[in-house]
Structure 1
Amino acid sequence: MTDRLELRYQRLLRAYPRSYRDRRGTEMITTMLDMAAAGRGGPTRGQALHLILCGLRQRFRLPARRPLAWVGAVLAAVVLGAFGATAGTWLGWQTAASIPSDGELRALNAAMTGMPAPAAVYRERSAMQGPGALVRADGISDYSAERVRAALTADGWRITSFREAQGAMLAGFDGDEEQLPVTNLTYTATRGGLKLDGNGWVVTGSAGHELTVRASYGTEVWPREAAAVRPLTVAGLIAGALAGWLVAAAFACWLRETGRSRRWVATVACAVAGATAAVPVYAQLRGAYQVMMYAKGSPYPYIVYSPSDEIATGTWTVVGLLAVAAALVAAWPRRLDG
């Protein structure tokens, strides 16, 4: 019975850092075994939970009179929190409906437009980090509203709006300009967890002139906002911040057990990692902000930043990871802290 109790207490004390167990573990187990022998029995569920929570509190505790440890813990919480938010957003979108393949989108476009040539498909990502696809076709085609409707319906889409409007397009022929009649159309549809928004124009008369482009269609497809995206973004931010603080606390404890030269190397490496993390962290937090501020209900997806506005984070991330690896090598204890 004593052996089983001792083993159980040892397992519960795994919630404490190894350095704490090395200093006080034997004393704690002896005290608890004495209490059990006095007739109080083994640990209740409440006592077990209390031990685990106290152990976790010790893991979050930073060394006293170490201001750099506090700075490092805050920075680590921010860094891992930012990447945790991005990971949560990605995980949330995995629960959304899948967008049709390029081949399926091209087949739908050909059925709608009557253009047999393969259309261009552009994969996009909205400000909420949600996926989207745009299929666009330009060429020679006549206009048929029924063909567009029939193609959408046959592909399983439920048409929610379909509007036509007559207009004109100014075109030049042999130095002269002529207004050609044009039919403009817009349409929206839904299918399961997907939304569709399209528009196009078709020249309905050219007075005998040859035109290389008589029609243009663009159809965008994207998933409805998954209910899990925003909660998982917040959860990822919190989980990442907690993980960052835990890592920093463990790292600070390791540093106390190393020599002065190794502490110096580890501190410099951490400073480099913190400096290089500024750019990637800003990019991740900017993305998380856009996710949380995005209009609810997954309206027509918009992109806030053009490719020229994208922040190049690859090099900064690699340098930061190398600096973190150097810091870990310098501060790593001789035996793992469980």
Structure 2
Amino acid sequence: MIIDTLTSPVILFFILGFFAACIRSDLNIPEAFAKAMSIYLMAAIGLKGGVEVAATGFSLDLAAAAVSGVLLGFTLPVLAFVLLRSFAKLSAIDAGAVAAHYGSVSVVTFVTAIELLTLQGIRPDGFMVGVMALMEIPAIITGLLLARAYSKRLKETESVRHEGESSLMHEVLTNGSVILLLGAFVIGFIAGAEGFAPIKPLFDAGFKGVLCLFLLDMGLIAARRLLETRKITVPLAALGIILPIINGTIGVIVGTLIGLDPGSAAILGVLCASASYIAVPAAMRLALPQADPGIYLAMSLGITFPFNILFGISLFAAFAKFLG
């Protein structure tokens, strides 16, 4: 599976971008074009997920996956927080911010995993799009609670906290990726296969090509983020790989125990293993401005994202197939 993944055009474009950044190439994807690709990918995956659920209907698997995803989103940051404090010796503020990233999800990792698992013949259920969207928020709440509970600095400024509380919740609940994914999912569900047919050529045929170009850009960003920062110690780099392995393993086991098929169990593992680098950083900048972005962005985008894209997805798929 790993060989198949590494020889896939989708992954090879990511490697190309990573390599280009490492040799200081001036290769660059315009920001407006990258944002347009991101919107397209999220709309496409949401639409197709909604169409699939419309065809199959709501089920106990959907409910079980949604509840499990939310619970995992609340609990996984606790393990990350403990390891970051004890093993990496981070402050409570930085540990809380990083832990929030490792309980939330990466949309790009999810989209890539859907494509790779489909190529391997274990396509996940469409309702996992909704599960992914639900897992964005719980980890942010847990990370903030942990940081505030264990940081003296935050306790001293507790009176100021309430002033930004409503704006934080608005930021989290109206995050663009969450709104677009859930909105496209609902549209696909309402339209069904018949309503989706006229726009299917746009959102289906062009999907793989756009994903290749998007991952080229992500390879450039991941490598440059890693090269720019000097704050990643050996323990932090190690946790950037250890945490996704632990979290992903837990996700696959939970998915198998609640009765999901191997593809859906693998995707739940991927969601647990992925680290957010879009929604959570935005929330942390607002809620924990004292936390160091150089740490949580370099770990999530520079270390965990490449690991999951190159190896993690295949490992969790193989584990899910073995358990299944």
TM-score, length-normalised on structure 2? 0.28
Higher helix proportion: 2
Larger Rg: 1
Higher strand proportion: 1
- Asked which structure has the greater RCO (Cα within 8 Å, sep 6+), the reply is 2
